[in-house]
């Protein structure tokens, strides 16, 4: 599989399997899907403490080693994320250590800040803007750097950061983030011609992963269906036609990630545009 070189000097497979889904399926379903993916050649797996999928991913890795599907854990690239309730200097390293225990791993390949937000309360997906509390990003990032220094994470990065927030982070970082993962990417289409719109949507669904790779990016796709997982792996067997590239480049793009729980007229972020620093 194609790989991309990170600023940390590590290589990351450009295609990964995502494990974020709600409601969270039973461990055996998730574990089986990850094992299927490993059999098909996937080597990059994306999870997070808040997803509730770390244990199942770890079980799948252990099973793959036992069955001889992989020779060593080093063949895999595993990403997990720091949840917002642990976004403080004393919470980062313990949170990663907890994730490693849940995964049954000694190190993570990539550790990401999930959102540039700090929340009070327990680790859960259900929250409101009232749960947001002040965030000290410099000390959080210093703790992220400690994770890499301790060997708990081979690379560190961020998720859902705007250019402005990245610039602020880089102004004080000793180790720059290796990755900025935008977890949800949507397409807004105006159906001026139903037949042509359906045709273009079909093209996009089939070509989006390949388009992302050809743009020089790394992508995470989510499916627990073995046939769909196989189809996604086949993007390396063909190239987009020039006319299709041109058509896809004209599709309006917009961030559709669900950040509305962070939005409040009296909160830190008063609108989606505010959250994304106008980069929507």
Question: The domain containing residue 136 runs over which residues?
Answer: 3-275
Number of folded domains in the chain?
1
Residue pointed to by tokens 């680790």: 123
Among residues 51, 107, 111, 269, which one is catalytic?
51
Q: Among this protein's residues, is 51 annotated catalytic? A: yes
Does residue 11 belong to any structural domain of this protein?
Answer: yes
| pLDDT on residue 127 | 73
pLDDT tens readout for residues 193-221 = 233 344 444 555 566 666 566 566 677 87
What Å distances lie between residue 105 and 67, 69, 70, 97, 244, CA to CA?
17, 17, 15, 10, 42
pLDDT along the chain (280 residues), means of 10: 85 89 89 96 95 96 98 97 95 98 98 92 70 92 98 94 90 92 42 38 58 66 85 72 70 63 79 74
Q: How far apart are CA 69 and CA 76, in angstroms?
A: 11
Does residue 26 belong to any structural domain of this protein?
Answer: yes
Q: Say what the pTM is.
A: 0.84
pLDDT tens readout for residues 151-197 = 999 999 998 888 899 999 999 999 999 988 764 443 222 223 233 34
Residue pointed to by tokens 């309006």: 252
Asked if 59 and 25 count as a contact pair (C-beta separation under 8 A), the reply is: no
Does residue 89 belong to any structural domain of this protein?
Answer: yes
| pLDDT on residue 44 | 94
Does residue 266 belong to any structural domain of this protein?
Answer: yes
Q: How far apart are CA 154 and CA 134, in angstroms?
A: 28
What Å distances lie between residue 102 and 47, 65, 150, CA to CA?
12, 17, 18
The CATH number given to whatever domain includes residue 208 is 3.20.20.100
Does residue 156 belong to any structural domain of this protein?
Answer: yes
Does residue 280 belong to any structural domain of this protein?
Answer: no
| pLDDT on residue 237 | 63
Asked if 115 and 160 count as a contact pair (C-beta separation under 8 A), the reply is: yes
- Is 272 annotated in some ligand binding site? no
Does residue 195 belong to any structural domain of this protein?
Answer: yes
């Amino acid at each position: 599989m194609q790989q991309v070189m990170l600023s940390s000097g590590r290589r990351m497979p450009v295609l990964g399997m995502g494990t974020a889904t709600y409601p969270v399926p039973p461990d055996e379903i998730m574990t089986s899907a990850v094992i299927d993916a490993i059999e098909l050649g996937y080597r990059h797996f994306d999870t997070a403490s808040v997803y509730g999928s770390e244990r199942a991913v770890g079980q799948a890795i252990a099973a793959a080693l036992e069955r001889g599907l992989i020779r060593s854990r080093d063949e895999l690239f595993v990403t997990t994320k720091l949840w917002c309730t642990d976004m403080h200097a004393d919470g980062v390293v313990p949170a990663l250590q907890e994730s490693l225990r849940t995964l049954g791993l000694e190190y993570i390949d990539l550790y990401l800040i999930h959102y540039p937000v700090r929340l009070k309360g327990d680790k859960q997906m259900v929250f409101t803007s009232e749960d947001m509390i002040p965030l000290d990003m410099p000390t959080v990032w210093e703790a992220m750097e400690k994770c890499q220094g301790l060997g708990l994470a081979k690379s560190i990065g961020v998720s859902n950061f705007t250019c402005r927030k990245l610039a602020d982070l880089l102004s004080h970082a000793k180790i720059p983030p290796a990755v900025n993962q935008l977890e949800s990417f949507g397409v807004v289409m105006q159906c001026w011609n139903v037949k042509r719109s359906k045709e273009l949507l079909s093209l996009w669904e089939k070509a989006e992963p390949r388009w992302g790779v050809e743009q020089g990016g790394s992508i995470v796709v989510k499916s627990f269906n073995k046939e769909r997982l196989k189809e996604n792996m086949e993007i390396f067997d063909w190239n987009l036609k020039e006319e299709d590239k041109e058509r896809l480049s004209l599709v309006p793009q917009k961030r559709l990630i669900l950040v509305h729980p962070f939005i409040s007229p009296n909160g830190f972020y008063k609108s989606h545009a505010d959250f994304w620093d106008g980069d929507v």
